[in-house]
Amino acid sequence: MSNLGKTIYIDSTNCLTELCTIGSEMNTDKSPFALNSVCCKHRKGYTAVYQMLFAQYQNKELNFAEIGIETGASILTWNKFFSDKCNIFGFEYDNNKIQNIKNLNLNNVNILHTDVTNIEYLDLTFKNTNVLFDIIIDDSDHVIESQNNIISTVSKYLKSGGILIIEDIDREQNIDVYNIDNNIWNFYTFIICHHDNRNCWNNDKILYLIKK
C-alpha cells in the first residue's frame, strides 16, 4: 500500500446530475455548480459522486445524518434529493446555526446539538436518537482528532452495510492518520472528487467507509 493508502480518483467535470443541480440551487459547496455557495463561494465536486453512491436510496426509507450543518444548505439539499421517507438528522455545535435551521420547520428533519471534540458527548447524542443510520456524513471541524472520534464512535449507530463519509480531506493526506478498525469496516478508500469548476484548497477528497 502506498503512503496515501487506497485512493479512487473521479473526475466529474463532464457530468451534471440531479444532485449537482439541487446543490447549486441550495448554494451548498458540495456542488461544483454553486457559484455563490454559502461557504465563501468554495465548491467541490462531491455531488456527482454522491449521486452515484446514494441514488439507490432515493425512494426508500432512509435514516441519514450530517455532522456539521453550517447555514443548512446541505440539509436543504438532502431534504429535496431524498424522498419524504427519509429521516434527516443534523448534528451541530453552534446553537445559533441549530436554531436557524429549526426555524425553517422542515419535514422529517431533526437538528441536534453535539460536540465532535468530546467523544463521550458525541456518543450520547447519537445514542439518544434511538436510530440506526444508513448514511452518516461528517462535515464538521475537519480536525483529524475529531474525525477519528467520529470514526470510532458512530460505527455503533450505522446499519450493517451503512456508509460513513469524512469530507474535506487534503489530497495529500495519508490514510495512516485515521484509526480504521478492520474488524468494524468492510471497505474503505479515499475518493478524490475532482471537477474542473472546483474552488477549494485541494481539500476535495473524502474518506468513504462501509460497515461490516
Tell me if 155 sits within 8 A of 212, measured CB to CB: no
Report phi then psi at 136, rounded to 5: -130, 130
Q: Cα(117)–Cα(88) distance, rounded to whole angstroms?
A: 22
pLDDT score for 4: 63
The total of other beta-carbon atoms located within 10 Å of residue 99's CB is 11
Q: Is the dihedral of CA 208, 190, 173, 16 positive or negative?
A: negative
pLDDT at 1: 36
> Could you count the other beta carbons within 10 Å of the beta carbon of residue 207?
22
The confidence score (pLDDT) of residue 40 equals: 76
Question: In terms of C-beta density within 10 A (0-12 exposed, 13-18 middle, 19 or more buried), how is residue 145 classed?
Answer: exposed
DSSP tag of 96: H
Q: Running along the chain, 212 residues long, what does each successive block of 10 average in pLDDT? A: 74 98 96 89 96 96 97 95 96 96 94 98 98 98 98 98 98 96 96 97 97 97
The model carries a pTM of 0.96
Number of neighbours of residue 156 by Cβ within 10 angstroms? 12
Q: Give pLDDT, residue 3.
A: 46
> What pLDDT does 169 receive?
98
Structural domains of the chain ordered from first start: 7-211 (3.40.50.150)
In single-letter form, the type of residue at position 27 comes to N
